[in-house]
Amino acid sequence: MGLSAEEKQYFEEQFDKLIKATKYIQSEDDILMIRKAYDLANEAHANMRRKSGEPYFTHPLAVAFIVAEEIGLGPKSVVGALLHDVVEDTDYTLSDIERMFDNTIANIVDGLTKISDVLDKDSSTQVENFRKMLITMSQDIRVIFIKLADRLHNMRTLDSMPEYKQVKIVSETVYLYAPLAHRLGLYSIKIELEDLALKYQHPLIYREISRKFKETEEERNKYIEEIITPIKNLLESEGISCTIKGRTKSIYSIWNKMQTKNVPFEEIYDLFAIRIVFDHPDDLPDSKARATCYQIMAMITDIYPHHEQRVRDWIKKPKSNGYEALHVTVMGPRGKWVEIQIRSRKMDDIAERGFASHWKYKTRETGEDHSLDLIIANLNELLNSKDGNLMSFLDDLKINLFSSEVYVFTPKGEIRSMPKSATALDLAYDIHTQVGHHAIAAKVNHKLQPLSYVLNSGDQVEILTSEKQYPKREWLDFVRTPKAKSRIKSALKEERRLNIEKGMDIFFKKIRELNLKLDFKQFNELRKKYNVPNKEEFYYKIGVGQILIDDIAKQLEGRKSFFARYWKVTLRKPKTNKEQTKNSMTIETLDNKKITLAQCCNPIPGDEVAGVVNPNNSIIIHKKSCNVLINFASKFGDRIISVKWSVTKKLSFLVKLKIEGVDSIGVVHKITSVISKEANVNMKAINIDTKDELFFGEIQLYIHDVEDLEALTKQLKKIKGVNNVIRVDNNEND
């Protein structure tokens, strides 16, 4: 089905808008290049439709607009966005792209093209694609910007996808893409990705918070204006030109705070922050802008008292993604704490668009961007790791690229940035591989600490070494960075290889000395007597002295035949999981032994759930919000299915509740009465502790579904003295 006349007219109109939106067009050649890519993508996708029924070209066009308008990239990035699906979905090849454009465009498209025919046997498609994308990112970071734009448009149009695919895409987004956007400083994209993920993970919660936001909007705007007015008047009197506005927090961040603090929406007081963005000409030095930030903060604190422990100075030490700003929390009118963010126009641009803006604002003295170089260096270290385990790769990626940093000092005062939760041994390997190999301990703030010591910002760390020290396998249990892990594994692998060779030499030398011969069957019998799984482990244990050669000699005496032989281990391919083609199911009964409820999140009827299909065709049901499911779905999205409840109230499910409040005589009796008598619910266990006139308890009970649980929770909250009742999953931290 080709394009209609109306669709052709629409796309022609959009081209002019795209040209106006594209930054840094320098010549007519740039416009012609975009026109060529526009026409090629439109023609290549002309007979394709999206799930929504729209022409497929609406997708690459939308991605190009995000790249141009929301990220602010230039002509080649827009061309890459327009062509990002052409090689994957049509008959055009990378050679065609290179011939029609150039090598740079072809490399960008190559980095964005899925390569499902080169996947590892044990990997999922999306993990290998993500790794391919990151490898290309290390060569041209525009690939990752376009990929994030692609994911953002997919999330904006997720309604048209079946539910099982929604679960997969949302899980990938939460697990990988939103943190990556944050790491690259694309805050507006990160926020929208998180909000859209919440919309599909918890649609009722999303709608409820959205509704409450709108209901409180008028009163909130009045209060923001009340705070802003005296600040604006003072800054204008000092000749500081600026924009001041209130910025509400994202729906996702509000929900996250409700979850972590176990409070309702009404008790979240920091729903917004005030942002001051002042004008600062590009021809003035950056030091002048930084001085203006401190000047504005001093003026604000003359109007409103500030919280000394809640000043965040990202001016002296910018974040690793380039973020610079001064945050101060002040006591506003009506006794409410309010955060105020102070930035120059340039700082604000970088804050919203991250490293995309760094291309626009290069450091004048050097023309370099050390923050971006550091991220790419860490990325290359991770990608070049010899460890072929892609699941380990993803976990390392999250720890080392998406986590926040700590800043530590060497004895000479050099500042080093390390991932949060990194250890002294990670720092040793960051300094030099040989320092890591021979590290024995650390002096932290002049106090002796083990290598497993977790670094904190501000620590002064000296690594102590010894030539007698060598890498140990247990080091892998606590190091966090890919550099440390890969160096330790390489050293251990080399040590193992040498010990295997040593063991082989000892073994065959003894065979020759005894003039004995041994056939393949007899060798295996000998190996099994020492309870080792394979010949390499057998030789290794001889090499390290765990199996004594004199003892082996006794076992070998009297053997009459010997021949050396190599053998191969053949791995059977896993059976095709036919059930994976069934992308949805309804739970009508739990009598089916193939279906189990995940113990990590304890889902009950009424919860939004999804299923994980195991290789044996059994299915585990998780809540969609379960971290275990999100982690799994981000790696094995093809094994996720949609699940609906259809069970009757004859079945009961175990639920854990936390309850807290003010201790008083008879409160426990009232709680148990409501549960057993009024709600007619069976309890499995109840545990109540008191401290300083407060009580804290945990109740395990059997409930039919979410509807009954919500009704019971409301009844419990009506008891005088009960302040809070929340449901707890097993995978939540107590």
Closest Cα partner for 201 from 241, 256, 242, 130? Answer: 256
Residue 52: other Cβ atoms inside 10 A? 11
- As a whole number of angstroms, the distance between CA 605 and CA 503 comes to 59
Tokens in use for 258? 């409700």
Helix axis angle for 187-201 and 203-215, nearest 10°, is 120
* Six-digit token string for 427: 């720092």
Residue 123 DSSP code: S
Q: Sort strands 447-449 and 619-623 into parallel, antiparallel or unpaired.
A: unpaired
Nearest to 153 by CA among 39, 44, 72, 56: 56
Coil, strand, or helix at residue 476?
Answer: helix
**Cα dihedral angle (467, 471, 474, 480), rounded to 10 degrees?**
110
Looking up tokens 């918890």, which residue turns up?
202
Distance CA 402, CA 416 (A): 17
159 Cβ neighbours under 8 A, 6+ residues apart: 52
Active site residues: 88-89
How is 255-285 classified by DSSP, letter by letter? HHHHHHHT--GGG----EEEEEEE---TTS-
How far, in Å, CA of 207 to CA of 212, rounded?
9
Q: State whether the Cα torsion 153-155-159-163 is positive or negative.
A: positive
Q: Residue 83 in contact with residue 37, Cβ under 8 Å?
A: yes
Burial of 670 per CB tally in 10 Å (0-12, 13-18, 19+):
middle
Other C-beta atoms lying within 10 Å of the C-beta of residue 590: 13
CA distance to 13, 22, 26, per residue, from 17 (Å): 7, 9, 17
| Phi, psi values for residue 337, rounded to 5° | -75, 135
CA dihedral sign of residues 284, 286, 291, 295 = positive
Supply the DSSP symbol for 477. G
- Bridge-partner residues for 244, per DSSP? 276
Tokens of 30: 């740039």
Which of 305, 308, 311, 312 lies closest to 330, judged by CA? 305
Structure tokens at 74: 């230039």
Is residue 699 helix, strand or coil? strand
Give CA–CA dist 166/172, Å, rounded. 10
Phi, psi of 519 (to 5 degrees): -90, 175
Rg of the chain on CA atoms, in Å: 31
Closest CA to 602 of 565, 645, 653: 653
> In this structure, are residues 424 and 455 in contact, taking their beta carbons and an 8 Å threshold?
yes
